[in-house]
Structure 1
Amino acid sequence: MYTAVKPLSKYLQFKSVHIYDAIFTLHSKCTVALLLACTFLLSSKQYFGDPIQCVKQKDVDISMDYIHAYCWIYGAYMQDNVTLAPSRRVNALLQCRPDVVGREVPPENRRYIRYYQWVVLVLLLESFVFYLPAFLWKLWEGGRLKHLCDDFHKIAVCKDKSRSHLRILVNYFTSDYKETHFRYFVIYVFCEILNISISLVNILLLDVFFGGFWARYYDALLALYDGDFEQWNSITMQVFPKCSKCEVFIGGAGGSDSKYDFLCLLPLNMLNEKIFAFLWMWFIFVTGLVSLKFLYRLVTVFYPGMRFQLMRARTRFMPKSHLQLALRNCSFGDWFVLMRVGNNISPEMFRKLLEELYEAQSLTKRVPPGADEI
């Protein structure tokens, strides 16, 4: 089974320069890896068998391959009056008791399980959608952070080269890149908003796709937490039934249709109920995180004091007056890029960078305007 998901290990390898923050990585990269792993597992017949398995009477002369294909394409069904406290009749149907399954279920009381064949495709589509913000940011970021920080990882053992690259960074941040940095920040925030939008839309679509998925699984997880496995089974079977019925119509010799009734098992739903129990918690978790991160972003935009305190916390023991002077001409976009650089170099090196910026600003402050032209 490990060989099925082994290619994902390269996708999750840590890079020397991180262009995403931790929450962005959880939402766009870890979620994609989880969804792809679930897709591989559900599509691997060698581990969980065929997705649908039907049984027939001995006197029925129909190929089992035809029965399986017919029920897979047109959908099996179950009784549609399942509640949170199922009756004995419904429990017997869910448990595949022959004395109940053999009875006719009126068409108006049937709930067809047509989503079953779409689960793998939906998970695959979700993985592409969740990866979209990361792909867009990687495309629009253009390798700026790698250009600014990658050399520090390569020349960490060489102090002379490290000081040389530090001076390059100082020259970069004392130059006028305010518009470039502002666009850089706006694009990143757009990707964060895209993360929130994708999470919320995903929650709504899953609820429609499975029919009350979020409300039902909340009760199911509470039952699981209480150790009530019977209640867990009765609730999850409403979303992912393991047993269903299927009617197959075959043209007879006289031209009229003959109807045959079959009992079908849905083995993958044993895995689906557990996969989506985990995904239920994971989607709620990442949606909450990206929402909190967006609130944090709003606070940093509207409260300059917050930005200064965050920078001061990262520079550790640097005097407050020195830091204020180093950030004297620092716009919001400059601050954002500085913080991103700080996430990719050591705290000691970042403090040296701010001290060099302080020295550069002090020199500019002491030299009268136009003195360099004399």
Structure 2
Amino acid sequence: MLLGVFTSLYDIIRISGSDKPTVDTRVFQLHYKWTRLLLFVFCIIVSLNSLIGKPIACTGTAEARLQEVMQTYCWITGTFTYEKYFRDNQIGASQLTKVGVGPGHPEHDEKKHITYYQWVPIVLFLQGVLFYVPHWIWKMFEDHRIRHLIEGMVEARMEEKKRRQRQALVVRYLVDSKGTNEWYAYQYVFCEILNFANVILNLVLTDKLLGGDFFTLGTRLIKYDPEDPTSVDPSHYTFPKQTKCTFQYFGASGTVSTIDSICILPINIFNEKLYAMLWFWFVLLGLVTGLNLLWRLAMIASPVLRVWVLQTKDHTHDVGNMSVVTNVVNGISFSDFFFVWIFTKNLNGLVLFDFLREYSAGVAEDLAPKRRPRLYPTLPHAMQLQSLDSPGGHSSSAQDFELRKPLTPCDDTDPVYSSVLPAKRRQ
């Protein structure tokens, strides 16, 4: 039974392997991979501590039967602390046993009720699901378009001729689909906006859960000086380890008896550390996501940045390839550029360089005054690409796109290509 439970937990929190094509950025992955993993792990830690450990222990009666009932009652209804013992700084007074706990009037003294610990595992799980939602939406929008192009094109130990034939088919599709990728790019930007809104939503949700103490938790922890005897640890206020609980029951004579109980909350030892880490993580994640959105807007507005983005990929940063990248960017819109950029994230080395050269030539041909009429393209998939390898296999799309010259020149006479060849190969 336990094996089945942990297997299900693993399926929830596991991170997908690197064998799948990349269709997003590292900032996007921070949300649905690492933040989701962090929240699910925290959820499991708190849940196991509540199920296996003893989350609450109360004292106030000598009767064992009544003691168990009282602890259950205090766990269900919640406990409280007195605000005055935080404000007046009465630490060390003879009547005070702990920060926030001491004698008080049940009606006149302001109380701070502690009830969130019952909801922490559920909220952490829901937050993990929330951080996965934008990725799920993007997968619905993306619909495996990149995977269909990549799976049949990128294989280990593929012959050069076969690779060029498959690449020709992919390039022809990308050229023919020019101007049809508007929704693809802006749907991704929409999901990035959802990621940013998700961080803000989770900050607000956590703040509500903790009674309005989460927004300033990190700054209060930074400002706290443990050497100052007059300062109170912010963790004691938000996550008290010792609280009070008032339990009433009928005595033997039928009169109402009241027990003013002191309760220990070991569960808050974990809660204070988990939420301190979450505060810094959410703030950092919000800053990174916000800056990434600004970068995306700048990329939309500036073709120069798009050129720079493609030139930073492996061999494409060489000076000899600057004209190729510039031709690609100047010949297409941001939406088409974005689709090509996501596609090139799955390529590297000379394969990437060859693809950019061939795609640049295809874009130039498409922009020519006497280009042939273009129909709405059909996305090639892995089976179509692999069908080129079969005896006599061919593709109408591959025939439409003539291979003007080899993508890997044997004589190394291409000055642009030779600028990125390894020195050993040129010798």
For 1:246 and 1:134, locate their aligned partners in 2 and report how far apart those are by CA, in whole Å: 44
> Please, what is the CA RMSD of the aligned residues?
3.2
Q: CA deviation at 1:300?
A: 0.9
For 1:313 and 1:363, locate their aligned partners in 2 and report how far apart those are by CA, in whole Å: 26
Aligned to 1:350: 352
For 2:51 and 2:371, locate their aligned partners in 1 and report how far apart those are by CA, in whole Å: 75
Gaps of 5+ in 1: none
For 1:334 and 1:47, locate their aligned partners in 2 and report how far apart those are by CA, in whole Å: 53
Aligned to 2:278: 279
Structure 1 pair 308/45, CA: closer, same or farther in 2 (3 Å)?
Answer: closer
Deviations 1:6-49 (A, max 9, x none): 55663353343122210010122210100000000001038971
Q: CA deviation at 1:294?
A: 0.3
Structure 1 pair 248/174, CA: closer, same or farther in 2 (3 Å)?
Answer: same
Q: Given that residues 99 and 236 in structure 2 are in contact (C-alpha distance below 8 angstroms), is that contact kept between their aligned partners in structure 1?
A: no
Q: TM-score, normalised by structure 2?
A: 0.76
Q: TM-score, normalised by structure 1?
A: 0.86
Aligned to 1:26: 30
Aligned to 2:44: 40
Structure 1 position 185 matched with structure 2 position 188: no
1:75 pairs, out of 54, 75, 78, with: 78
Q: CA deviation at 1:65?
A: 3.0
For 1:192 and 1:82, locate their aligned partners in 2 and report how far apart those are by CA, in whole Å: 45
Aligned sequence identity (%): 26
Q: Given that residues 217 and 235 in structure 1 are in contact (C-alpha distance below 8 angstroms), is that contact kept between their aligned partners in structure 2?
A: no
For 1:131 and 1:295, locate their aligned partners in 2 and report how far apart those are by CA, in whole Å: 22
Equivalent positions of 1:145-184 (< 5 A) are 145-179=146-180, 181-184=181-184
For 2:16 and 2:308, locate their aligned partners in 1 and report how far apart those are by CA, in whole Å: 32
Equivalent positions of 1:135-284 (< 5 A) are 135-179=136-180, 181-210=181-210, 211-223=212-224, 234-253=233-252, 255-284=254-283
Does the residue aligned with 1:245 lie in a helix, a strand or coil?
strand
Greater shift in the superposed pair: 344-353 or 202-211:
202-211
Greater shift in the superposed pair: 302-311 or 331-340:
302-311
Between structure 1 and structure 2, the one with the greater Rg is 2
Deviations 1:187-229 (A, max 9, x none): 1111111111111122223223222223233221344xx7759
Aligned to 2:338: 336
For 1:280 and 1:64, locate their aligned partners in 2 and report how far apart those are by CA, in whole Å: 36
For 2:369 and 2:118, locate their aligned partners in 1 and report how far apart those are by CA, in whole Å: 73
Structure 1 pair 354/221, CA: closer, same or farther in 2 (3 Å)?
Answer: same
Letter in structure 1 aligned against 2:22:
H
Equivalent positions of 1:358-373 (< 5 A) are 358-363=360-365, 368-369=370-371
More helix by share: 1
Letter in structure 1 aligned against 2:129:
F
Q: Given that residues 61 and 67 in structure 2 are in contact (C-alpha distance below 8 angstroms), is that contact kept between their aligned partners in structure 1?
A: no
Q: Given that residues 76 and 246 in structure 1 are in contact (C-alpha distance below 8 angstroms), is that contact kept between their aligned partners in structure 2?
A: yes
Q: CA deviation at 1:233?
A: 7.0
Q: CA deviation at 1:135?
A: 1.2
Q: CA deviation at 1:251?
A: 2.8
Structure 1 pair 245/347, CA: closer, same or farther in 2 (3 Å)?
Answer: same
Aligned residues: 364
Q: Given that residues 221 and 277 in structure 1 are in contact (C-alpha distance below 8 angstroms), is that contact kept between their aligned partners in structure 2?
A: no
Structure 1 pair 365/214, CA: closer, same or farther in 2 (3 Å)?
Answer: closer
For 1:104 and 1:327, locate their aligned partners in 2 and report how far apart those are by CA, in whole Å: 72
Structure 1 pair 182/136, CA: closer, same or farther in 2 (3 Å)?
Answer: same
Q: CA deviation at 1:365?
A: 6.5
Q: Given that residues 91 and 99 in structure 2 are in contact (C-alpha distance below 8 angstroms), is that contact kept between their aligned partners in structure 1?
A: no
Structure 1 pair 233/81, CA: closer, same or farther in 2 (3 Å)?
Answer: closer
Aligned to 2:66: 63
Structure 1 pair 126/250, CA: closer, same or farther in 2 (3 Å)?
Answer: same
For 2:241 and 2:368, locate their aligned partners in 1 and report how far apart those are by CA, in whole Å: 79
Structure 1 pair 302/93, CA: closer, same or farther in 2 (3 Å)?
Answer: farther
Q: Given that residues 169 and 353 in structure 1 are in contact (C-alpha distance below 8 angstroms), is that contact kept between their aligned partners in structure 2?
A: no
Q: CA deviation at 1:84?
A: 7.5
Deviations 1:94-148 (A, max 9, x none): 369xxx74x3443432211011211111111111111110111112211111112
